Amino acid sequence: MNTASGKEPGPAPNLQPTSQDPIDFSIDDLLKKVEEFQRQQQLETLERVTTENSWLEFHIARLQQESIRTSNLLQEIYSAVISMQGALEKCRLEEVKANQAWLAFWGIREHPSTIPGTHQADWI
């Protein structure tokens, strides 16, 4: 007994949880922890997806640039091929003219089978 204060000691505090209050508190606490865990998972997922998106956007942009460069290079190659074909055709025509002039100079007439664009039956 506590004689200094002159009061009788009250009942001992109940250390045993009552049936409803602590259970509600525990359920609320559990729900808060679950929500916090879910929120953390969502943030981690969002961060991961954002990082992946950035990586994909970078690579898509790089591939687009490479595609443009490849297309430009193919256009240059095509133009060069067309130019070379024209030069080869011009060279072939000049060679034919030069051969005709050379043969004419020496008084040689070409056989019809050697003239471009004509065909002679080989069996005659």
DSSP assignment of the chain equals: ---SS-----PPP--SPPSSHHHHHHHHHHHHHHHHHHHHHHHHHHHHHHHHHHHHHHHHHHHHHHHHHHHHHHHHHHHHHHHHHHHHHHHHHHHHHHHHHHHHHTTPPPPGGGSTT----TT-
Confidence at 28, pLDDT banded by 50, 70, 90? confident
**pLDDT on residue 20:** 52
**pLDDT on residue 63:** 98
Taking only the tens place, the pLDDT of each residue in 38-75 is 999 999 999 999 999 999 999 999 999 999 999 999 99
Query: What mean pLDDT comes out for the span 23-37?
Result: 84
